[in-house]
Structure 1
């Protein structure tokens, strides 16, 4: 009976090792572009830091990965979340939007942040540093209202 458990464990270990060779492409843009939201809208340093810390991992072309994000199947879940986040909003492509779309997106960002829907509560559970205080939310909202 013990040998059967060892065989099953061995097979599971082999499967785990095998899936490490199937990893999604990383969402890593090496440098900022002029199309980026924070650059195009000339965000102050404090706002830039807040948005990069709380939003950019899922909503830009530059994700700062944690060590566990490189382990399959966790990497697959992270990749799916990033793709979904970028479908909703990709700050890296900001300058490609027309002015009406930009106004709508800024309004959506403001509502989403003020209602506490972003960053996602599930993301904050794992990345507590991404949580925005009421003061930080207010700073972002005040800056968003200056964007024309």
Structure 2
């Protein structure tokens, strides 16, 4: 048992020499969801606080991003989040895709699937109230309607 613990400790120390890349891709505010949709400040604050760490190129890396293997899990989570929806490059999506992404936002918020429960462990400020949840849903639905009108 003692040998196993020593091997485990040595492995833990060795993996610390393989840090993650914490750099964010460049940001063009003209491509950002909040800018192109003229998002009201209270809604923008909720989206920024509760969504942008995983779904934008503005990820903030907390202290535990310096400790493997937690850092690897975090990096993968951000990579997957950006792949599914990246608010920083939202203007690059075709209007139909923008609508689809906003519909997915509504669905995830309605089902209480986003933000992820695990995200709250280190980000208590990301929790949203039921009122904020309803405000976000209304906002995304209104944005969908606006996008559909512009497509006509």
TM-score normalised by structure 1 residue count: 0.85
Number of aligned residue pairs: give it.
Answer: 144
Report if the CA contact (8 A) 1:60-1:86 is conserved.
yes
Report if the CA contact (8 A) 1:68-1:74 is conserved.
yes
Report if the CA contact (8 A) 1:23-1:75 is conserved.
yes
> Is 1:83 aligned to 2:79, yes or no?
yes
Which residue matches 1:111?
A: 107
Flag structure 1 segments of 5+ consecutive residues without an equivalent: none
Flag structure 2 segments of 5+ consecutive residues without an equivalent: 147-152
Which residue matches 2:149?
A: none
Return the structure number with greater helix share: 2
Select which of 129, 134, 148 maps to 2:125.
129
Shift of 1:28: 2.7
Q: Distance in 2 between matches of 1:30 and 1:99?
A: 23
Equivalent residue of 2:11, what SS?
helix
Select which of 80, 90, 94 maps to 1:94.
90
Select which of 25, 34, 42 maps to 2:30.
34
Which residue matches 1:73?
A: 69
TM-score normalised by structure 2 residue count: 0.83
Q: Which moved further from structure 2: 75-84 or 136-145?
A: 136-145
Root mean square deviation, CA, Å: 2.1
- Choose 1 or 2 for highest CA Rg: 1
Describe the shift of the 1:79–1:34 C-alpha distance in structure 2 as closer, same or farther (beyond 3 A).
Answer: same
Report if the CA contact (8 A) 1:119-1:130 is conserved.
yes
